[in-house]
Structure 1
């Protein structure tokens, strides 16, 4: 199999698997005060510290959780609840139509309950301007939520510029940064964001583990209640093995991030060149976006048939976000940037990792050419 679906999940690295096995063998709960519990606590905090070091922040600003979906929901719903309790009425949220469903769903849930939601307008590649954001801010704006790197297009936002606009009006800013680590630099102090969310399985760590960054001095009210773990913000026994393995995997990914970026850039250029001769194919991703992702549309083809044909030919790709797979709906990201429903349904996402080879790229390009012929026959 040629695996080109790294944006959906990055296979666990050897370092992460070894770290997970080591931590999983420990019997203690990290909240227990006995020696077994403290041994688990030591690995839990080492994993958190490794992640914090990669992002340039204090480890105490990171809340361990189950991943990006939980983190996005925790930020949007927690901030909204606190704002509404303080002011006695629904407030205003600013976000975008190209967000991951983990942001779109809670935003729409709030909108259905009286919150005003401003949906910014993307350009042809899914980028948002600081000027548009500034014009959208209102006295009752409780939160701005804009992703850093898009999971379908690879578009990278100017997060420092956008966050600065919100900060000038004392409005909290949240970035879903799930697709960035291991490929793009993540320096949270330089970004100036209030909150950011991450998933370890995007950088070669285990699935079901993630982090929410909460800037020092900011608050994140809990949306779940129980014990006092994670400062009471995310109660429940922590996944010691998962957090430790996440930290080990990110340390390794950061050590070779420059080489990874160069490698992925070469793969993306090679793939785009190889498939450019396929009739009616267009490239959707921006040339300056993340090199991890290639989005293409084959007008007149059936996207579902393309995926099945690729699978038969031994290539794993996707039609967009893995969290939206099986919905039979056109990609909301591609629709937002102006593609018709037919073209959005005829689109595929290929995403690469450090282990992807040039031979696999060539094989995938040949398979796409064959799959396109079959789907149009």
Structure 2
């Protein structure tokens, strides 16, 4: 039997077209994109094209896209960069209790140097209430940051409604869209966000590359000081190799439909689980407002990690990919009010473009044998 990969929320394989796009930059296209000669100009063109490809996917201008080393750096740049540049206007930030550590930990750092952070809770489906966000706003609020979709449960947040509130109060709004870009339509103007985070390895691009959308007019203090790369926001010679890969991955995602086949396969998987295990299996997250590829379920009375250990050919996660192997109740599930007895049996299955019905059927066979 072959190995089966159902951990696409943790990382995706490189799309073949992405590898093909990057290959020339490993050989003849070695110049510095800032150099004004024959070796630099073609590389500069590649970088510009990649920036446009990212911008086209999210509906922005290419000048509003800054390349970073990944989602974590983009989040840090958004939060710290905005706070350092705008703390004369206020010191209050609003976020949620279920954010990724790449948001929570920068917030905790900022608290140490004078920021005041409000962590808003979620309902049983893992959704933030826009009303709770509005209630948390004070005269000192300068930034709101809420993830677009949760990496563990796949639940989508009401970003557009929160964006309208932020717009009404003239507060900057950032969303970490690392998990959702490439899986669901993402348009920065429709979402009404001022900053948006992209992580390359979540959408079939390489690891070590990401991007931050920064709406024109938003001022950030750079985290890395040096020359004027990336419109003066992030110093350092651009990693054109990885940027080209991210650009191509965004172009591919822009050409695809709304992942209807993947959604159908996820629904099929859930129906198979319910038919076989009934009340023994419980869905985590919202039943409709969710990513089309993510299925986070509790196997009641079981321990998720023990189930996965009994299926060594299956790659899946017991929670956030950053905490794989941790059998303690996920903080996200805890905030949703899931009991420890039920939540200990949580497994996150995240499907991808390469997932087949035969693979889902094989996983069902394994689960039947074990449970």
- Shorter-normalised TM range: over 0.9
The Cα shift of 1:326 comes to 4.5
- For residues 56-95 of structure 1, the aligned pairs below 5 Å read 56-84=59-87, 86=88, 91-95=91-95
Distance 1:285 1:362 in 2: 23
SS in 1 for 2:40: helix
TM value normalised by structure 1: 0.93
Once residues 235 and 192 of structure 2 are traced to their aligned partners in structure 1, the CA distance between those partners, rounded to angstroms, is 27
Aligned equivalents of 2:348 and 2:56: distance in 1?
31
1:294 and 1:351 in contact (8 A); partners too: yes
The 8 Å contact of residues 182 and 257 in structure 1, kept in 2 or not, is answered as: no
Once the two structures are superposed, what CA deviation does each residue of 1:171-213 show, in whole Å capped at 9, x if it has no partner? 1000001111222001111111110000111111111111000
**Are 1:142 and 2:145 an aligned pair?**
no
Which residue is 1:45 aligned to?
48
Kept in 2, the 8 Å contact 1:178–1:198? The answer is yes
Looking at structure 1, the residues matched to 130 and 45 of structure 2 have their Cα atoms a distance apart, in angstroms, of 42
Q: Label 1:370 to 1:113 Cα distance change in 2 as closer, same or farther (>3 A).
A: farther
1:162 is matched with which residue?
Answer: 162
**Shift of residue 342, structure 1, vs aligned partner:** 4.0
Give yes or no for contact 1:194–1:218 (8 Å, CA) kept in 2.
yes
The offset of 1:285, in angstroms, is 2.7
Query: Is contact 2:124-2:285 (8 Å) kept?
Result: no
Give structure 1 stretches of 5+ with no counterpart: none
Q: Which residue of 1 aligns with 2:305?
A: 304
Instruction: Work out whether 1:295 is the aligned partner of 2:296.
Output: yes
Q: 1:126-205 counterparts in 2 under 5 A? A: 126-205=126-205
Q: Is this contact kept in 2: 1:24–1:240, CA < 8 A?
A: no
Question: Do the aligned residues in 1 keep the contact of 2:50 with 2:244 (CA within 8 Å)?
Answer: yes
Q: Secondary structure at the match of 1:45?
A: helix
For normalisation by structure 2, the TM-score amounts to 0.94
Aligned-pair distance for 1:60?
0.4
Q: Secondary structure of the equivalent of 1:69?
A: helix
Q: CA deviation at 1:76?
A: 1.0
Q: CA deviation at 1:328?
A: 5.0
Name the CA distance, whole Å, in 2 between partners of 1:364 and 1:112: 46
SS in 1 for 2:361: helix
Separation in 2 of the partners of 1:51 and 1:295?
Answer: 29
Counterparts of 2:272 and 2:301, CA distance in 1: 20
Q: How does 1:183-262 map to 2 (within 5 A)?
A: 183-258=183-258, 261-262=259-260
- Alignment match, 2:273: 275
The gaps in structure 2 that reach 5 residues or longer are: none
Aligned 8 A contact 1:23 1:43 in 2: no
Query: CA deviation digits over 1:259-315, x for unaligned, max 9?
Result: xx21111111111111122262211132211111000011221222122222x2x11
Are 1:265 and 2:266 matched, yes or no? Answer: no
Are the aligned partners of 2:166 and 2:172 in contact in 1 as well (CA < 8 Å)? Answer: yes
Q: CA deviation at 1:346?
A: 2.1
